[in-house]
Amino acid sequence: MPPPHPWTIKLTSFASQVRIEDSDNGRTLGELNFKANETLSIFKKGTQAVSAMPLLTKENKLNDRAQFLFTQIFERYAIEDPDDPTQKVLDYGATTAYVQGATGEKIVDKGVQHLMQFDSNSDGKLTLQDFLYFY
Ligand SMILES: [Ca+2]
């Protein structure tokens, strides 16, 4: 089993019942007033606000909720299609911004190229349908 994510546990000093916060992680044990024989308690935090759900229907299509969420993500990065103002698209720049936002990486050429393979008409722009098909 993988170790629990830091956000899912809390640490408490047994003697003082002082809770050690995430923001304390740069402090030394001395600064936290730890004694040599200190006992720490680790608790699992309660349920997370985010719950897991299946993304696909039985027909292997994105379910409505997932489609709604991915559409919102698409809208956040999409630009007006210069060739068709009635629709929004992800061009190379917008796709780069999206992959950077999703991965937290600065160099994302491979990810962008991977996503661009779903450009169904090879015009260098992803439509919402292309984007949803990727997922
Ligand atoms: Ca296209």
**Contact criterion met (CB below 8 Å) for 19 and 40:** no
pLDDT at 131 over 90: yes
Instruction: Kindly state whether residue 123 falls inside one of the protein's structural domains.
Output: yes
30 and 75: one domain?
no
40 and 80: one domain?
no
Taking CA atoms, 5 is separated from 1, 22, 46, in Å, by 12, 12, 13
pLDDT at 124 over 90: yes
**Contact criterion met (CB below 8 Å) for 90 and 123:** no
CATH number, domain at 118?
1.10.238.10
Domain that holds residue 121: 64-134
Number of compact structural domains in the chain: 2
**Contact criterion met (CB below 8 Å) for 126 and 115:** yes
pLDDT at residue 89, as a whole number? 98
Instruction: Kindly state whether residue 90 falls inside one of the protein's structural domains.
Output: yes
131 Cα to the center of ligand 1, angstroms = 10
pLDDT at residue 59, as a whole number? 86
27 and 72: one domain?
no
pLDDT at residue 60, as a whole number? 83
Please indicate, yes or no, whether the overall pTM of this predicted structure exceeds 0.75. Answer: no
107 Cα to the center of ligand 1, angstroms = 23
63 Cα to the center of ligand 1, angstroms = 23
Instruction: Kindly state whether residue 27 falls inside one of the protein's structural domains.
Output: yes
127 Cα to the center of ligand 1, angstroms = 6
Q: For 4-36, what is each residue's pLDDT tens digit?
A: 555 556 666 666 666 767 666 677 767 777 677
Instruction: Kindly state whether residue 51 falls inside one of the protein's structural domains.
Output: no
2 Cα to the center of ligand 1, angstroms = 40
110 Cα to the center of ligand 1, angstroms = 18
Q: For 38-95, what is each residue's pLDDT tens digit?
A: 776 666 665 444 556 678 888 888 888 889 999 999 999 999 999 999 999 999 999 9
5 Cα to the center of ligand 1, angstroms = 39
pLDDT at residue 7, as a whole number? 53
77 and 109: one domain?
yes
